[in-house]
A and B are shown apart, each in its own frame.
Chain A
Amino acid sequence: MHIAVLMKSVPDLVEDIALDEHEGQILFDEMSYVPSEWDDQALEEALVIKEESGAEVTAVSIETQDSDNLLFTALAKGSDNAVKLVGDFDLSLTNRQRAQIFADYLHKQPFDLILSGVQAIDDVDGQIPGLVAGIMGWPHASVVTEVRVKDQGIILRQEYAGGLVAEIESSTPVVVGIQAARKPPRYASIAKVRQVAKSRQIEEVEVPLSNVPALTVRRFYKPVASAHAEMVDGDVEDVAARIAEILQERNLLRR
């Protein structure tokens, strides 16, 4: 089984999103980036499959600011190969463009299983797994929490509201959007990533940027919350006292 994991970085929400409020445009170059948490889950599931039944795992990312670090981290965690898709790209790539770039690369490769995160925080024009599958004409399933190899195909678990799960058998090739891996994502120390960056290579593959259906985002803006919580200040004891009072006022304390 040859698995590709499609990965990207997204703005770190611990910091404020850099926004030109006048123009309503995101300032992509003024933010720091972290790996998309669901792509991390997808990589973990791929590595679990590899350990369980043997597979070759290739982490694939599109060259933008942080892709080398993302890919070296994937290698440090146990990915067999790392591929960087290079071209005339920048951080403002839409997901639809990303999906097309991934698909253009994947078409020429012998992958059986493509994993990626179920969503990303910035995928306003759609989620990578469904978009890539639609372009390739491959079957896909998203919001998946488990993938196991069986004979020539896979068995996956897809989740619905209320925790209902369907077990689905699929032939390959297939694209799967991972919600959560069977285990929490493993950690690679900075030292290990540095060492890998010295000893391993990232393969670069040039991919053109083709035309794709585009959305015109007229503006991005910060939502004006219809309300904000009334803040309870003070030290822990003050806060505990005030909360007890609030609960008391509303008859929420049993006597």
Chain B
Amino acid sequence: MGPILIVMENGASGFVDSSKELITKGREIAKNLEISSIAVGFGQDAESQLKNLPVDRVIAITNPELSQYHPLAYEKTLSEIVKKEEPYLTLVANTTMGMDLGAGVASSVSLPLIAYCNQVAIAGQEVVATSSVFAGKLMAEIVVPKSGAVLTVMPGAWSATEDSGSPQVDVLSVDIPPSMRILRTIEPEKSDVDITKADILISVGRGIEGPENLTLAEELAEAIGGVVSCSRPVVDAGWLPKSRQVGKSGQTVKPKLYMAFGISGAPEHQQGMKDADLIIAVNTDENASIMDIAHFGTTVDMLELMPALTERLRGE
């Protein structure tokens, strides 16, 4: 059986948490299956960041340009490594980078892909992966084929420990294909409010129906001393700026109170808010996924509840 190959993703400082989670879990699986573990990292700091990871071997791709994700160069490089090392499992975090990379690598090396994975268990001779699909409404239990697979793993599926080790270090640099070129990176626009710093978030989703109803949320936020945040569709529709978006492709928040109005609780949204101290969900659908992580829920119409609550809080 081939090794476990873990793909590390660069963040603003060091590897992102979801990659560290893969190291911890990957090592545990490797130990149980008595196979070796390899981590791959990219960019000018790759070698220094990889060399203390608790794995058997690391491969540092040290081209400075690759500190930044380059879809084509990452895919080509990783596909080559997979062909050479023939790993049993290739683990990539299901971040926006991992979603891009995982499917491309799996199909270019003709391996199956198991996406949205949030559990891997070893049962006798079998390795069983569990994935969350249909916006979190179903789980799929999949037997990992003996011939291997690429797994994209949900961030937060496992917790990371800060162990270290002294792996064998391989350093290489690769040719960057000229057909794709990173022109620049753009930081999100700075805004007046930083939702990651707020204690109370009044968060609105598609249930807000239109920009004309946003004043209801703003008035409530003002009455309670919080700020307005939102789900992705509200940003995509242009009703609120990107800086207010909670979730996978937005901000991760951990306020004392998160009130979700008209938000279904898709996995990509939950990823950004599930650790809030108190979650209150207002959703006409009692079976919406948000109810599974909320502490309190109600199915009244948010457009009626927001003004009623504002009035009550102002009166107190």
Q: Are A126 and B107 neighbours in the complex by a CB distance under 8 Å?
A: yes
**In-complex Cβ contact of A13 among B103, B134, B278, B311 (8 A):** B134
Against B, the Cβ 8 Å flags (1 = close, 0 = not) of A113-139 are 000001101111111011111110101
Q: Are B313 and A253 neighbours in the complex by a CB distance under 8 Å?
A: yes
**In-complex Cβ contact of B296 among A99, A125, A226, A230 (8 A):** A230
Chain B interface: which of A48-56, A77-85, A191-199, A235-243? A235-243
Q: Are B133 and A166 neighbours in the complex by a CB distance under 8 Å?
A: no
Q: How many angstroms between the C-alpha atoms of A15 and B232 in the bound complex?
A: 22
**In-complex Cβ contact of B142 among A129, A130, A215 (8 A):** A215
Q: Are A218 and B141 neighbours in the complex by a CB distance under 8 Å?
A: yes
Q: Which residues of A contact B312 (CB under 8 A)?
A: 240-241, 244
Q: Does B25 touch A at the CB level, under 8 Å?
A: no
Against B, the Cβ 8 Å flags (1 = close, 0 = not) of A226-254 are 11111111011101110110110010111
Q: Are B257 and A19 neighbours in the complex by a CB distance under 8 Å?
A: no
* A232 smallest CB distance to B (angstroms): 4
Q: How many angstroms between the C-alpha atoms of A135 and B107 in the bound complex?
A: 6
Q: Which residue of A lies closest to B116 (CB)?
A: A124
Q: How many angstroms between the C-alpha atoms of A253 and B294 in the bound complex?
A: 19
Q: How many angstroms between the C-alpha atoms of A79 and B308 in the bound complex?
A: 46
Q: Does B216 touch A at the CB level, under 8 Å?
A: no
Q: Are B105 and A134 neighbours in the complex by a CB distance under 8 Å?
A: yes
Q: Does A57 touch B at the CB level, under 8 Å?
A: no
* A62 smallest CB distance to B (angstroms): 17
Q: Does B286 touch A at the CB level, under 8 Å?
A: yes
Q: Does A159 touch B at the CB level, under 8 Å?
A: yes
Chain B interface: which of A68-76, A104-112, A140-148, A201-209? A140-148
Q: How many angstroms between the C-alpha atoms of A160 and B10 in the bound complex?
A: 11
Q: Which residue of A lies closest to B152 (CB)?
A: A126
Q: Which residues of A contact B316 (CB under 8 A)?
A: 244, 253
The residue in B103, B113, B179, B279 that gathers the most chain A C-beta atoms within 10 A of its C-beta is B103
Q: Are A124 and B133 neighbours in the complex by a CB distance under 8 Å?
A: yes
Chain A interface: which of B26-34, B37-45, B48-56, B68-76? B68-76
Q: Does B124 touch A at the CB level, under 8 Å?
A: no
Q: Which residues of A contact B115 (CB under 8 A)?
A: 123-127
* B286 smallest CB distance to A (angstroms): 7
Q: How many angstroms between the C-alpha atoms of A99 and B115 in the bound complex?
A: 15
Q: How many angstroms between the C-alpha atoms of A172 and B184 in the bound complex?
A: 20
Q: Does B251 touch A at the CB level, under 8 Å?
A: yes
Q: Are A129 and B133 neighbours in the complex by a CB distance under 8 Å?
A: no
Q: Which residue of B lies closest to A142 (CB)?
A: B100
Q: Does B291 touch A at the CB level, under 8 Å?
A: yes
- Near A by CB (< 8 A), chain B positions 105-151 give 105-116, 128, 131-143, 145, 149
Q: Which residue of A lies closest to B279 (CB)?
A: A229
Q: Are B257 and A252 neighbours in the complex by a CB distance under 8 Å?
A: yes
Q: Are A177 and B100 neighbours in the complex by a CB distance under 8 Å?
A: yes
Q: Are B295 and A230 neighbours in the complex by a CB distance under 8 Å?
A: yes
Chain A interface: which of B58-66, B83-91, B161-169, B237-245? B237-245
**In-complex Cβ contact of B107 among A24, A134, A168 (8 A):** A134
Q: How many angstroms between the C-alpha atoms of A155 and B252 in the bound complex?
A: 28
Q: Are B134 and A216 neighbours in the complex by a CB distance under 8 Å?
A: no
Q: Does A158 touch B at the CB level, under 8 Å?
A: yes
Q: Does B205 touch A at the CB level, under 8 Å?
A: no
Q: Which residues of B contact A165 (CB under 8 A)?
A: 185-186, 188
**In-complex Cβ contact of B103 among A134, A155, A223, A231 (8 A):** A134
Q: How many angstroms between the C-alpha atoms of A121 and B18 in the bound complex?
A: 22
Q: Does B2 touch A at the CB level, under 8 Å?
A: no
Q: Which residues of B contact A223 (CB under 8 A)?
A: 132, 136-139, 292
Against A, the Cβ 8 Å flags (1 = close, 0 = not) of B176-194 are 0101111111111000000
* A207 smallest CB distance to B (angstroms): 17
Q: How many angstroms between the C-alpha atoms of A159 and B215 in the bound complex?
A: 29
The residue in B107, B136, B181, B185 that gathers the most chain A C-beta atoms within 10 A of its C-beta is B107
Q: Which residue of A lies closest to B111 (CB)?
A: A213
Q: Are A167 and B142 neighbours in the complex by a CB distance under 8 Å?
A: no
Q: Are B104 and A252 neighbours in the complex by a CB distance under 8 Å?
A: no
**In-complex Cβ contact of A164 among B188, B279, B295 (8 A):** B188
Q: How many angstroms between the C-alpha atoms of A230 and B107 in the bound complex?
A: 44
Q: Which residue of B lies closest to A232 (CB)?
A: B298
- Beyond the given A166-B69, A167-B186, A233-B298, please list 11 additional residue pairs across the A-B interface where CB-CB is below 8 A: A11-B134, A134-B75, A140-B72, A160-B249, A164-B185, A167-B185, A215-B112, A223-B292, A230-B296, A231-B296, A239-B308
Instruction: Enumerate 23 A-B pairs (CB-CB under 8 Å) in ascending A order.
Output: A119-B99, A124-B131, A126-B106, A134-B104, A137-B108, A140-B71, A141-B100, A160-B249, A161-B249, A163-B242, A165-B185, A166-B68, A166-B185, A167-B183, A168-B71, A171-B180, A184-B237, A213-B110, A221-B139, A222-B137, A223-B132, A230-B297, A247-B224
Q: Residues of A with Cβ closer than 8 Å to B? A: 11, 13, 17, 19, 24, 26, 96, 99, 118-119, 121-127, 129-135, 137, 139-143, 155, 157-171, 174, 177, 179-180, 184, 213-223, 225-233, 235-237, 239-241, 243-244, 246-247, 250, 252-254
